[in-house]
Amino acid sequence: MKRYFIHTFGCQMNVNDSLRMSEALAKMSYEPTPVPDNADLIILNTCAIREKAEDKMLSALGRYRTVKASRKALIGVGGCVAQQEKDKLLKKVPYLDFVFGPDNIAKLPEIIGRVENERERVVETAFVDSEEYVFPRADAETSRGKVTEFVTVMKGCDNVCSFCVVPHTRGREVSRGFTDVLLEVADLARVGVREVTLIGQNVNSYQGGISFAQLLLRTAEVPGIERVRFTTSHPHDLSDELIEAFRTQPKICPHFHLPVQCGSDRILKMMRRDYTVVQYLERLAKLREARPGIAVTTDIIVGFPGETEEEFEMTMQLTEQVRYDNQFSFVFSPRPKTGAALRENDWGPVPHEVKVARLERLQKVQRRISGEYTAALVGSEVEVLVEGHSKYDATKRFGRTPENRTVNFEGDAQAGAIVKVLVERSTPNQLAGKQVALLQGPTVAPVEDPVEPQTCVVAEA
Ligand code: SAH
Ligand code: SF4
Ligand code: F3S
């Protein structure tokens, strides 16, 4: 058997795409290896969201060059950088064998066949027309031993956020039919998966035959599924129906990731986000009324072109006002062909040091707020879905609360069980404690540390 190694960068879509690649490779008699050094095929599934993400890909590619030299391994690049750069990537990286975009994963066996047999260097980056696009169905066996899994509900993005490269790399929105989604969820539940996260770049505009809220409700009813999550939502099409689903279905986890990007209406307009801060807060207030205690997280960009000190202060104020559970914050990175990159000079680029200083100030405030949330939980009991052992200490268990807080704890519960944990210590992003009760056992015999293709997927945000 030949061996493959997939290095995954970027978001949940890429993690999920890498699994589909591994399934295609398994059909070609390739097996996964957890280390690149003995691989015959190395695939980098790449992210183009910020310049740093691209740099990371290039440095990883440099490392794999030695494997290529010693073992004649084939090297391919997929994902968003592949889609953006297309054949240019082959010119830039002379030892690269093939380049394929996110729409071409199904063609992977054919691409590799051409590289192996005809010694061709291959580029496949055409988008598939919406009507013709077929979502690959996950092979549930890939997920045996896993407790939580992603399920794709749509691809692409029809928004035009001026900073964002995703519409260029993932094409137009296409929704996956709801029956297909629900069948996949049921397959996953049968192999022991207890939590699913429905994923897409903009799930609120889902149009797969039923509304997104209905899709969540139907997913929650699949036997064996205890927790339902989703990501990502754009605030401008967050419907009342979705908010109501949080009121009525407790299996929809009390966590909402609602990227706001910044606290200034002027900047939001330049970002083409299509909502004001007041509208955003109004949606959030409704959500918190429907599900008190819901954890809210967000994404923030600081140093968008033209952002003044006062406008940055508005983001700081919004952070204090909303009291996010957590934020993912980034300095603005101009991306090729995006509106904000093209107009950066007109709007006034924010100097790098200023951006970085702002980011540090914001992150400090957020760390304090996150720490206040987690510290308040010390002494209380939280419900944890056990995912396996702790990565810090193999004698401890690891899982997450419905609010998506990570918990490392002393206990003996198997992966797939739901337990009560008494919280004894906290850091801003983690809870620690001990198991005090077993609420539910796993639905199937657990497989600790499954040796599945996931072991060779190294995701980095
Ligand atoms: N579809 C998601 C966003 C996916 S990208 C949504 O609309 O919420 C994840 C995050 O990366 C974005 O929310 C944004 O905060 C950040 N991001 C995107 N483009 C960026 C850029 N050019 N520079 C810095 N951060 C960026
Ligand atoms: Fe990018 Fe905006 Fe689409 Fe999110 S909604 S993927 S930020 S264009
Ligand atoms: Fe995801 Fe990065 Fe592409 S965030 S959609 S892998 S640009």
Of 111, 67, 78, 69, nearest to 8 (Cα)?
78
Of 146, 156, 157, 160, nearest to 189 (Cα)?
146
Q: Which helix (H) or strand (E) holds 316?
A: helix 309-322
Residue with CA nearest ligand 1 atom 7: 234
Instruction: Mention every residue, 6+ apart, whose C-beta is less than 8 A from residue 2.
Output: 29, 30, 31, 40, 41
DSSP E strand stretches across 267-306: 295-302
Tens of pLDDT, residue by residue over 64-79, are 998 888 888 999 999 9
What pLDDT is stored for residue 455 in this prediction? 47
Instruction: Mention every residue, 6+ apart, whose C-beta is less than 8 A from residue 63.
Output: 36
**Which residues form the pocket of ligand 3, taking CB atoms under 6 Å from any ligand atom?**
10-11, 13-14, 47-49, 79-80, 165-166, 169-170
Q: What is the average pLDDT value for the chain, to the nearest integer?
A: 94
Say if strands 41-46 and 397-400 run parallel, antiparallel, or are unpaired.
Answer: unpaired
Write out the two tokens for 386.
């056990």
**How many Å apart are CA 210 and CA 405, to the nearest integer?**
30
Nearest bound ligand to CA 199? 1
Phi, psi of 411, rounded to the nearest 5 degrees: 170, 180
CA distances from 202 to 149, 160, 172, 236, 322 (A): 18, 12, 11, 10, 22
Tens of pLDDT, residue by residue over 336-390, are 999 999 999 999 999 999 999 999 999 999 999 999 999 999 999 999 999 999 9
Tell me the mean pLDDT in the region 233-239. Answer: 92
Q: How far is the CA of 333 from the centre of ligand 1 (A)?
A: 10
Q: How far is the CA of 88 from the centre of ligand 1 (A)?
A: 25
0.85 surpassed by pTM: yes
Q: What is the percentage of the chain residues whose pLDDT exceeds 90?
A: 87
Domain boundaries, the chain: 2-127, 135-253, 381-440
Q: How far is the CA of 160 from the centre of ligand 2 (A)?
A: 7
The CATH code for residues 381-440 is 2.40.50.140
Is residue 169 lining ligand 1, measured as CB closer than 6 Å? no
**How many Å apart are CA 308 and CA 198, to the nearest integer?**
37
Q: Give domain 2-127's CATH number out of 3.30.930.10, 3.40.50.970, 3.20.20.100, 3.40.50.12160.
A: 3.40.50.12160
Same fold, 2-127 and 135-253: no
Tens of pLDDT, residue by residue over 149-204, are 999 999 999 999 999 999 999 999 999 999 999 999 999 999 999 999 999 999 99
The CATH code for residues 135-253 is 3.30.750.210
Q: Which residue has the tokens 């109004």?
A: 282
Is residue 232 lining ligand 1, measured as CB closer than 6 Å? yes
**How many Å apart are CA 11 and CA 119, to the nearest integer?**
32
Candidate of 8, 9, 11 to mutate for ligand 3, largest count of ligand atoms within 8 Å of Cβ: 11
**Which residues form the pocket of ligand 2, taking CB atoms under 6 Å from any ligand atom?**
157, 159, 161, 164, 166-167, 201-202, 234
Candidate of 169, 201, 335 to mutate for ligand 2, largest count of ligand atoms within 8 Å of Cβ: 201
